[in-house]
Amino acid sequence: MVLLQFPAGFLWGTATSAYQIEGAWNEDGKGESIWDRFAHTSGKIADGSNGDVACDHYHLWREDVDYMAQLGVNAYRFSISWPRIFPAGTGRLNQKGLDFYRRLVAALRERGITPMATLYHWDLPQALQDKGGWGNRDTAGWFAEYAAFLFQRLGGEIPLWITHNEPFVAAFLGHATGEDAPGLRRPRLAVQVVHHLLLSHGLAVRAFRQIAPASAKIGIALFLWPQEPATDRPRDMAAARRMDGLVNRQFLDPLFKGRYPEDLWRTYRTRFLAPKVASGDLETTAEPVDFLGVNYYTRMIHRASLLDPLLGAREVKPPAKRTLMGWEVYPQGLYNMLVRLKREYTDLPLYVTENGAAFADVAGPDGTVEDVDRLEYLRLHLGQAYRAIADGVDLRGYFVWSLLDNFEWAHGYTKPFGLLRVDFATQKRYFKASARWFAEVARKNAVEV
């Protein structure tokens, strides 16, 4: 056994998002979001469920903060529901919604837990979807206004802010594959949505610099999964490189280099998919941030394939240990991604803003779960995070997805990711073995491997 000691001040946290845990979908003046609408549409969610109640965190938040204190974590990443603050997206404030987050943040701080707030984790006000959603350039401006309002009201109390969670997923699963809200299948629109999401990010960062105290920091959390070739044949390598353009560089380049990847844009242009970009937009998307959030779960492997009309790539899934999501357990990819970010993009501080695993948990008679698979998944990934730090990556924190079993989007409640098990019939929470283990990690600021 070796004890890997993490740097002093390292943040150990858990992550959640509003729609996945809060419930109270129409209480205290909250407006409808695109996820409310989508989950209420029959056939969209695997188990026919929705987030109407979810973990009932809107009512049980005090208890949940107590659980975090018991876990001994020193950070918590959550998201703010835009339609809870502005039910119609713009205009009238819902004071009760703001009060909810203000109380949550105060309770966290009282317990020495650093809040990290995400402004957009996919729950756009339905009223704005009715005006074209993220396909409408105005939505970028409305997002910046919503963000600026929160910087004014909570900027002094929340030291770490994230504009967007995984714009890749919001754009493509929401607007190209239709798996997520708003459930559209319009590839050209999806590409335009990418641009508007990135634009809204830059506008929000600009507002942040004018409003928030200098001690507060802002960044973005990206879906960053390595896209690897099935073989070292040039055509497979080229296919993987194209996928990397779509999944990773499409976001990293405009954020850190102020341009879109040339290869991807050539493809978009020849397929008439290139979005409208106004002059100055790419200066906005590249507005300097303070940190980058990395959401890492697995890698994807591709072969060249003529069957895929857009990028000529087909995903393959060789035998491997996989989670309940079908995702390969591939800890090495976390190290590779962190080191790549430093080499190719930025020396800024990084946070692992999400990492975790769904497994088929079996509750014992006392309600707890001996989730050895999840514990092992986390342990292996932390080993790789440590390696990256040892190799010079400025990694400042690690957030487990997730604090609680919750509503896993189109999978409903069928994919438990929590450190804490939730019995949805009683809303009781139980520490899993991984939670007890993670508490030790946080206490020692070290991981035993």
Interface residue list for ligand FCB (CB under 6 A): 17, 20, 165-166, 169, 223, 295, 354, 401, 408-409, 417
How many CB atoms neighbour CB 266 within 10 A? 12
The whole-angstrom separation of Cα 419 and Cα 64 is 12
Nearest to 257 by CA among 268, 248, 249: 249
Distance CA 436, CA 427 (A): 20
φ/ψ (deg, to 5) at 37: -60, -45
Q: What is the DSSP string of 49-74?
A: --SSSTT-HHHHHHHHHHHHHHHT-S
Q: Which residues are known catalytic residues?
A: 166, 354
- Smallest distance, ligand FCB to C-beta of residue 275, A: 23
Residue 290 to residue 201: CA distance in whole angstroms = 13
The region that residue 331 occupies, defined by phi over 0 for left and psi between -120 and 50 for alpha, beta otherwise, is alpha
Residue 174 or 312 having the CB closest to ligand FCB: 174
List CB contacts of 256: < 8 A, sequence separation 6 or more: 286, 345, 346
Q: Which is nearer to ligand FCB, 56 or 408 (CB)?
A: 408
Nearest to 353 by CA among 105, 117, 180: 117
Smallest separation, CB 394 to ligand FCB (Å):
23
DSSP 342: I
* DSSP conformation letters of 245-305: IIIIIHHHHHHHTSS--HHHHHHHHHTT-PPP--TTHHHHHT---SEEEEE----EEEEE-
**CB of residue 152 vs ligand FCB: minimum separation in angstroms?**
27
Residue 380 is which amino acid? Answer: L
Nearer residue to ligand FCB within complex by CB, 149 or 424 = 424
Q: Are 150 and 85 in contact (CB under 8 A)?
A: yes
The Cα 430–Cα 251 span in angstroms is: 38
Using the structure block, give the residue that is written with the tokens 């497979």.
236
Residues 6+ apart with CB under 8 A from 152: 211
Could you say which DSSP state residue 164 is in?
A: E
* Residue with smaller CB distance to ligand FCB, 122 or 265: 122
Nearer to ligand FCB among residue 58 and residue 399 (C-beta)? 399
To ligand FCB, the closest distance from the beta carbon of 425 in angstroms equals: 22
Q: Would you say 100 or 417 has its CB closer to ligand FCB? A: 417
Q: CB of 166: closest distance to ligand FCB in angstroms? A: 5
134, amino acid identity: W
Cα separations in angstroms, 103 against 99, 106, 217 = 6, 5, 21
Place of tokens 């205009």: 91
Alpha carbon 46 to chain centroid distance?
21
CB-nearer residue toward ligand FCB: 236 or 405: 405
Q: Quick one: 20 or 285, whose CB is closer to ligand FCB?
A: 20
CB of 223 to ligand FCB, least distance (A): 6
Per DSSP, 181 falls in state: T
